[in-house]
Structure 1
Amino acid sequence: MEQNPLISIGLPIALIIIMAGIGLSLRPRDFLQVAHRPRGLVWGSVAQLVLMPAAAFALAWALSLPPLVAVGLVILAACPGGTSSNLITYLARGHLALSISLTVTASLVTIVSLPLLTNLALRGFVGEGQQVELPVLRTVAMLAVITVIPVAVGMLVRWRSPGVAARAERAVGLFGAMVLAALIVAIAVRIGDRLPELLLQAGPACVALNLLGIGLGLFATRGLGLSPVDALTVAVELGIKNGTLGLLVAMTLLDSPEMGVPSAVYGLLMYFFGVGLIWLGRRRFAA
């Protein structure tokens, strides 16, 4: 299938800008604040990097998803949070430093874990005979360029010009939403008549994955001694994912719009749940 230049070139560039937006909101002292209370960071990272992908495998098997959609669900689950999770945490009066630390930590580990989990899903759902595999070293290098370097550049801009960073951060958040909308349209065009069928297949799994992530944050954290604010923050981070990164892997590295459907569907649905989390946070933690 011929790759669309807007996807193969434009999507990585857009993601670089979005990841730089995370760096614009991050300061070195944010990590020090979280280090004094590391339980939220540890639990959120374990849930993000281990439990969410495991849940995606289980949901794909339980719901008998089509192979390519199943792989796409695992790709999505393996993605970290993004600028949207940080914004929703802020609006919900959560622990912003914890949210940013979780996003950055997961983004760094994802460089290695995402290609490994994707290939595991390809072998499990598509099969060895299909000769479909995500190149690990190429993916690691691409994710490093697209995630680590932009975050570092964003932090540098924040350090040198805080005023510029504050203005740019708001613009990047809007840009991210526009990119996601454009990608959803691109997927719809490439899939064509199969879109309604794939939406029906991916929708329930995406809702279940979102609710599970939120539940792991809000309820499973009670026995870990986390504060309600930290629990809400973990819930946002697990429920609001960087769907643009999932689309990058599916549509650029694997050239499969079908695998991109879960990220696109989730990218729409998560904002409805995000509004609910904002309402919950502002109600419980009124200023």
Structure 2
Amino acid sequence: MDQSPLIDIGLPIALAIIMVGIGLSLTKEDFAVQARSPWATIVGLFGQLVLVPLTGVAVALAFGLSPMLALGVVLVAATPGGATSNLITYLARGNVALSVILTALSSVAVILTLPMWFGIGARLIPGAADEEVTVPLGQTFGLLLGVILIPVLLGMILRARKPALAARIERFVGIVGLVVLVLLIVGIVLGERDRIVDLIVAVGPAVIVLNLALIVIGGLLAWICRLRRAEQIAIAVEFGIKNTTLTLLIAFTVIGDDEVGLAAAVYSIVMYLTAFLVVYGGRRLMRTAV
């Protein structure tokens, strides 16, 4: 894939801005609250970092996708939630603080776990080894450190020192994220326009199953672990609503393959559609909560 300055420079900057927004919504007290009652955070992190990527590998294998599309599905599953998951959790009446904490912690942990799960997928998916596609640990670590950890910390510092300014910037960040995602999807469609329909038909069913499975697994895991309904909603959303901007960044700048990124592009569309169902279901659940 031919890289443009928009992708090489603009995409990492845009993602860093989005991650600053997550930092702006965090305070030290958020971490203190979860530290005093950490069970929901432990359950959510275990699921996000272990069960969700495993589900992605299983779906990629079950649908017999081409190696690059299958790796794209694994990459989506290995990606953490993002600012959108926090918004959907709020609209669904879930535990927003838990959602934000899970997003922040999994975004940091993914610096190590994403390359690991991608490597596992590359070994298990038939034909993937022949493509000689890897996610280099050093390059990925440096990239994610620069666009995730540091921006989140900057956002938290700004929130602590200038809360009024932080509140104004936080509203702007969500718009940036949506615009960037739309532009990325359009770019993929244009880049693969000769075979876009065939690729979407190929990966669409797998992506739909993955999204629905992750939402159900999140809710069930939280229910089995006896978490409250607001926490069940937060974990279900966090599993199903991904930071696909990050997935696309890895696909473009590290892997350099449109086909890998296509799974993330299609997943983005699917997850926004299912988000409406999650919001509706979450509100109904919370109305009947004891």
Q: How does 1:21-170 map to 2 (within 5 A)?
A: 21-125=21-125, 126-170=127-171
CA distance in 1, matches of 2:81, 2:101: 10
CA distance in 2, matches of 1:282, 1:88: 11
Bigger Cα displacement from structure 2, 37-46 vs 118-127: 118-127
1:279 is matched with which residue? 280
Aligned to 2:193, the other structure's residue is in SS state helix
Q: How does 1:206-221 map to 2 (within 5 A)?
A: 206-221=207-222
CA distance in 2, matches of 1:64, 1:26: 41
1:204 is matched with which residue? 205
Aligned to 2:195, the other structure's residue is in SS state helix
Q: Write the letter of the residue equivalent to 2:217.
A: L
Deviations 1:131-154 (A, max 9, x none): 322211111111011100000000
Deviations 1:219-252 (A, max 9, x none): 2322211001100110010010000011011111
Q: Write the letter of the residue equivalent to 1:34.
A: Q
What is the root-mean-square deviation in Å for CA atoms of aligned residues?
Answer: 1.5
Q: Write the letter of the residue equivalent to 1:281.
A: G
2:267 is matched with which residue? 266
Q: Write the letter of the residue equivalent to 1:181.
A: V
CA-CA distance at 1:60 after TM superposition: 1.1
CA-CA distance at 1:217 after TM superposition: 2.1
CA distance in 1, matches of 2:5, 2:222: 44
Mark the runs of 5 or more structure 1 residues left unpaired by the alignment.
Answer: none
Bigger Cα displacement from structure 2, 245-254 vs 127-136: 127-136
Aligned to 2:80, the other structure's residue is in SS state coil
CA-CA distance at 1:99 after TM superposition: 0.4
Q: TM-score, normalised by structure 1?
A: 0.96
Q: TM-score, normalised by structure 2?
A: 0.95
Aligned to 2:94, the other structure's residue is in SS state coil
Q: Write the letter of the residue equivalent to 1:151.
A: V
1:237 is matched with which residue? 238
Are residues 69 and 200 of structure 1, via their aligned partners in 2, closer, same or farther at CA, if it must alter by over 3 Å? same
CA distance in 1, matches of 2:80, 2:100: 11
CA distance in 2, matches of 1:235, 1:134: 28
CA-CA distance at 1:190 after TM superposition: 1.0
Q: Write the letter of the residue equivalent to 1:139.
A: T
Aligned to 1:219, the other structure's residue is in SS state helix
**1:171 aligned onto 2:209:** no
2:251 is matched with which residue? 250
Q: Percent identity?
A: 44
Runs of 4+ in 1 over 6 A off after TM superposition: none
CA-CA distance at 1:37 after TM superposition: 2.5
Are residues 65 and 37 of structure 1, via their aligned partners in 2, closer, same or farther at CA, if it must alter by over 3 Å? same
Q: Write the letter of the residue equivalent to 1:124.
A: L
Are the equivalent residues in 1 in contact too, given 2:67–2:128 (CA < 8 A)?
no
Aligned length: 287
Deviations 1:32-68 (A, max 9, x none): 1122332221111111111111111111111101100
Are the equivalent residues in 1 in contact too, given 2:229–2:286 (CA < 8 A)?
no
CA distance in 1, matches of 2:116, 2:129: 15
Are residues 279 and 130 of structure 1, via their aligned partners in 2, closer, same or farther at CA, if it must alter by over 3 Å? closer
Q: Write the letter of the residue equivalent to 1:92.
A: A
CA distance in 1, matches of 2:220, 2:112: 29
